[in-house]
């Protein structure tokens, strides 16, 4: 006979463990692909909770999978734990107080994200066990959510091929089921190489890489009128070539982030941005080098699961049905 247990009771049993892990990851505050201590802490916790853990999957040190069960359905719960640059902060304070000047910190709560996903995976495991139900629950330790897209490599490696569905979450200021469509993205570095020269004595001998970056940005800003409304293009100049205006800047770099609802749309815009970069290099007689940094496909939502999550959500938050929906 099934004895019914509530999922919130299962979570509460290990409350102290989860708080402890979350606070440790807050202190580790490791950036993309450097989340060694955070990943190891989560791996050990998974092992202690009876999961079989495979470390360093997809050739990435901080990517791992904790697995329990060997029958269907295969449920994936995604855990992320990377920090952001410059956001070092003492915990529990609402005013700015860095632990480490210019150190990294958890600006959007990835200390909670990875830990909450662990709590969910353990709760599902215990729920299956205690109710004698079939199923496999996997915790996917996904590095580099903030930048670098660790999951992309895990998908390419086929690690998600047998998964029936994947659930994820993100800390926020409200509790809600998020019916979010994430845009597909490409992130690409454009580097220009010119020739240094004294900007007053012999400007005619210089070829400015910074000019190339500026002309590229102007070109892309003109492109905006002629792309689909839902697309987004942003850039950051990551190398201006120096701090002396009296030297022609021999190198400069700009990082572009292109987004659109479908990955094919991003690809089309990217091709046009590349042409503009080539044009900027031609205009300035500089050399262009491109480095494709990362890319993600658009998120595929599952309307059936959204509905189930919504129904379950209302057991804890009995509000009118339109509450709890977040459309971003």
What's the CA gap between 166 and 151, in Å, rounded? 12
Contact 207, 286 (CB under 8 A): yes
Rounded least distance, CB 170 to Zn ion, Å:
6
Nearest approach, Cβ of residue 102 and Zn ion (Å): 20
Least distance from Zn ion to the Cβ atom of residue 171, Å? 7
Q: Kindly list the strands in the beta sheet with 232-239, ordered across the sheet, starting from the edge strand earlier in the chain.
A: 232-239, 251-260, 184-193, 287-296
Residues 164 and 72 sit within 8 Å (Cβ to Cβ): yes
For residue 96, the minimal CB distance to Zn ion (Å) is: 19
The pairing of beta strand 325-326 with beta strand 177-178: parallel
Q: What SS3 state is found at 104?
A: coil
Phi, psi for residue 107 in degrees, rounded to 5: -70, -35
**Residues engaged in binding Zn ion (CB under 5 A):** 108
Residue whose entry in the numeric block shows the structure tokens 């900007």: 199
By beta-carbon proximity to Zn ion, the closer residue of 108 and 182 is 108
- For Zn ion, which residue has the nearest CB? 108
Least Cβ distance, residue 108 to Zn ion (angstroms): 4
Closer Cβ to Zn ion, 182 or 263, answer by number = 182
Preceding peptide of 73 cis, ω within 30°: yes
What minimum distance in Å lies between the beta carbon of 283 and Zn ion? 39
Q: Nearest 5°: phi and psi at 67?
A: -130, 140
Which CB sits closer to Zn ion, 108 or 263? 108
| C-beta of 108 vs 257, nearer to Zn ion | 108
Query: In angstroms, what is the minimal distance from the CB of 106 to Zn ion?
Result: 9
Report long-range pairs for 317-320 (Cβ below 8 Å, ≥24 apart): 317/175
Could you give the CA distance from residue 261 to residue 155 in angstroms, rounded to a whole number?
Answer: 20
Alpha carbon distance 1, 131 (integer Å): 9
Task: Report how far apart the first and last C-alpha atoms of the chain are (Å, whole number).
Answer: 43
Using the minimum distance from each CB to Zn ion, give the nearer residue, 108 or 163.
108
Instruction: Give the closest residue to 42 by CA, choosing from 17, 15, 59.
Output: 17
Note whether 67 and 122 are within 8 A (CB): no
As given in the structure block, the two tokens for residue 242 are: 């120096």
Min dist. Cβ of residue 110 to Zn ion (A): 6
What angle is formed at CA 90 by the lines to CA 88 and CA 95, rounded to 5 degrees? 95
Tell the smallest beta-carbon distance from residue 82 to Zn ion (Å): 9
* Residue nearer to Zn ion on the CB measure, 109 or 295: 109
Work out the burial of residue 200: count CB atoms within 10 Å of its CB; fewer than 13 is exposed, 13-18 middle, 19 or more buried: exposed
């Amino acid at each position: 006979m099934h004895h019914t247990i509530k999922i919130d009771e299962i979570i509460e049993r290990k409350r102290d463990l989860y708080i402890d892990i979350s606070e440790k990851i807050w202190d580790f505050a490791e950036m993309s692909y450097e989340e060694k201590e955070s990943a190891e802490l989560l791996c050990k916790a998974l092992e202690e909770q009876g999961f079989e853990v495979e470390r360093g999957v997809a050739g990435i040190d901080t990517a791992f999978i904790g697995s329990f069960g060997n029958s269907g359905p295969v449920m994936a719960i995604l855990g992320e734990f990377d920090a952001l640059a410059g956001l070092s902060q003492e915990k529990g304070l609402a005013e700015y107080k860095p632990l480490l000047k210019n150190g990294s910190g958890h600006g959007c709560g990835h200390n909670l994200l990875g830990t909450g996903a662990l709590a969910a995976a353990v709760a599902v495991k215990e729920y299956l066990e205690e109710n004698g139900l079939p199923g496999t629950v996997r915790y996917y330790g996904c590095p580099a959510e903030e930048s670098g897209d660790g999951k992309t490599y895990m998908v390419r490696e086929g690690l998600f091929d047998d998964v029936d569905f994947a659930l994820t979450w993100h800390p926020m200021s409200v509790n809600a089921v998020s019916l979010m469509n994430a845009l597909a993205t490409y992130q690409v570095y454009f580097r220009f190489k010119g020739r240094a020269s004294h900007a007053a004595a012999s400007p005619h001998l210089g070829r400015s890489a910074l000019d190339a970056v500026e002309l590229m940005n102007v070109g892309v800003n003109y492109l905006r009128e002629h792309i689909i409304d839902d697309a987004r293009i942003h850039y950051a100049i990551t190398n201006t070539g120096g701090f002396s205006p009296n030297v022609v800047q021999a190198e400069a770099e700009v990082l572009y982030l292109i987004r659109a609802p479908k990955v094919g749309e991003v690809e089309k815009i990217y091709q046009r941005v590349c042409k503009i970069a080539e044009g900027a290099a031609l205009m300035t007689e500089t050399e262009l080098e491109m480095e494709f940094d990362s890319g993600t496909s658009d998120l595929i939502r599952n309307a059936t699961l959204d509905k189930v999550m919504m129904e379950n959500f209302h057991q804890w938050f009995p509000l009118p049905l339109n509450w709890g929906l977040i459309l971003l």
